Structure 1
Amino acid sequence: MSHSKGGLVILNEMVNNLPPSERKIAQYIVSNPEEAIHLTAMALGEKSNTSSAAVIRLCKSLGFKGFQELKIRVTGDLQDQVVKGYRDIQQNEEYMDIIDKVTANTIQTLKETVDIMDGKNLKKAVTTLSESKSILFIGVGASHIAAKDAEQKFQRIGKETQALSDVHTAATLIANKDPRDVVVGISFSGETLEVVKLLELAKQKNTKTISITKYGNTPLSNFADIQLFTSAAREATFRSGATSSRIAQLHVIDILFMCLASEEYDKTVKHLDETRDAILFLREDPTKKNKRSDPDD
């Protein structure tokens, strides 16, 4: 997977969580991206009244291999002219304008989520899910919608999967898990206490753990063996975690499912055919079936 974009997205999402010197550098890059990509670490340190060492620390804080990767990803963002930023609705706004804004916000969130996705971590997550004995998805509130969607998808291809929002039931199940099982914690903020505690419990049981959160170091991602991120999707007045960020979570679930389906193509097709036949069987009218099989009709 290409890592040529997402630099400005990550900087914007992490800037308020950085130490003072690193924050100054991040703010300078965001305000002057065209100039920053042509500077050396030393020059950028001077421009931002910090140091080259602070620039290197910033790259490490952002999860980049070095300053060169940061510049490459910012350059990729500058070449992409689609980015327009998030737009909030207004009072008594025309419906067609609202449609345009909601659609644009969703597209922006999905694009940013893809731009910051780590291909290596995605591969690890797919392999872990493929080799698992069972999968438990945990999310509360809007994140539970993504967990239930994952449950439905993975059950259809023969995976022993559950999605829970009740913490007591989830804790009981996790207590009997082992390294062959996987627990996936879903939380937009990465700070939902119930989900964090359940992933911590899973770590204590040596169960494999995966987190799906907004980008950055969060309590939930810190307990995950594998970290997957969505765009932070800066929140506007009427666009809470139940809208664009939920769609970003669903998008990550779709990507996991499709990658796993590709890895296990023949098995997946077989399971999907069987589940499709099962649904068609339920839709058959038993009275019509009996009439067709009655020789006296």
Structure 2
Amino acid sequence: MLQEIAEQLPLSERKIAQYIIENPHEAIRCTANELGELSSTSASAVIRLCKSAGLSGFQELKLRVAGDIRNVSETSFSDIQPNETQDAIVQKVTNSSVRALQETAEILNYEALAQAVLALQQAKSIHFFGIGASAVIAQDAQLKFVRINRFTTAHTDFHTSAMLVSKSSIDDVVVGISFSGETYEVGKMLELAKEKGAKTISLTSYGLSPISEIADIRLYVSAKQEEVFRSAATSSRLAQLHLIDILFMCVLTSQYDESIKQLDEVRIGVNFVKQHTSLRK
């Protein structure tokens, strides 16, 4: 998390973040005053860093760092090399995926999650939108939420989505999905939704971005380790799907009896169609 937000921090906070990244073992043994001195800043700057990182305080920061120290050897990421063996690829892709899921859980803001779940619970309609690999995430979300009696869309065509969002209102939710947080079309879709009074949710990689700045509710995933194969959207895609699953299950369990009823109706309907299709054949 510190690595991902470091460049966006004020100078004093950036110096502290850099010191922690380079000296994690020393940092977790320090008080706020000692860390301020070691990083040539101050205790107040340490507290501001915690706030910038969305943490409750210095103690939580140290716990997060300590957890990373324990896990780094088990799930460390290294990029795929030329002529990599299949065994090595299996191990590296698995480690990368596990790390993406763990880091997403670690940086999850539970207040934002609760706000997103409430908005989705109360929504008359939900519009998911993403471009490229993020469009796949939007379609997966649509397939999930439509099963529990939500009017849900996830069109890949920008103009079709814009037409639907232009009809939205205060009772609707628009979810913009972009790992980079900079996809132009996704940003414009959220701007249109806000003009119509709809609630907006962003799903991006951790840190400030044009899209997260627009959204009412900001959800983040962490998959910063993708470098050479960024266009393949491997661990980032998995982290985004993971967060969609979390949202879906939170909404489902909050209205459990009704949701189970809706899921059963969908299952019966699908089986009915399958049976009649097989009879024709």
> TM-score, normalising length from structure 1?
0.88
Q: Does the CA-based 8 Å contact 1:13-1:232 persist in structure 2?
A: no
The answer to which of 141-150 and 193-202 deviates more is: 193-202
Partner-residue secondary structure (3-state), 2:154: strand
- What percent of counterpart residues are identical? 53
Q: Does the CA-based 8 Å contact 2:174-2:190 persist in structure 1?
A: yes
1:195 to 168, 186, 191: 186
How far apart are 1:79 and its partner, in Å?
A: 4.2
Q: Does the CA-based 8 Å contact 2:50-2:58 persist in structure 1?
A: yes
Letter in 2 for 1:20: L
Q: Which structure shows the higher helix fraction?
A: 2
| 2:132 alignment partner in structure 1 | 141
How far apart are 1:204 and its partner, in Å?
A: 1.9
Gaps of 5+ in 1: 1-9, 290-297
Deviation per residue, 1:17-46 (Å, 9 max, x gap): 223322211111111122212222222121
Letter in 1 for 2:21: V
Gaps of 5+ in 2: none
Alignment of 1:1-297 (within 5 A): 10-80=1-71, 83-240=74-231, 242-285=233-276
Q: Does the CA-based 8 Å contact 2:190-2:214 persist in structure 1?
A: yes
Deviation per residue, 1:36-72 (Å, 9 max, x gap): 1222222212111222232233222212233233223
Structure 1 consecutive aligned stretches of length 4 or more whose deviation exceeds 6 Å: none
Q: 1:286 to 1:247 in 2, by over 3 A?
A: closer
Structure having the higher Rg: 1
- Report the RMSD for the aligned CA atoms in angstroms: 1.9
Q: 1:286 to 1:257 in 2, by over 3 A?
A: closer
CA distance in 1, matches of 2:232, 2:107: 19
Letter in 2 for 1:101: K
Partner-residue secondary structure (3-state), 2:220: strand
Deviation per residue, 1:173-216 (Å, 9 max, x gap): 22221111000010001111111111122112221111111111
Deviation per residue, 1:59-100 (Å, 9 max, x gap): 222122332332232233334466532121222222122111
The answer to which of 140-149 and 161-170 deviates more is: 161-170
Partner-residue secondary structure (3-state), 1:182: strand
Q: 1:201 to 1:176 in 2, by over 3 A?
A: same
> TM-score, normalising length from structure 2?
0.93
CA distance in 2, matches of 1:103, 1:80: 14
Q: 1:28 to 1:241 in 2, by over 3 A?
A: farther
How far apart are 1:252 and its partner, in Å?
A: 0.5
Q: Does the CA-based 8 Å contact 1:177-1:207 persist in structure 2?
A: yes
In the comparison of the two structures, how many residue pairs are matched?
A: 280
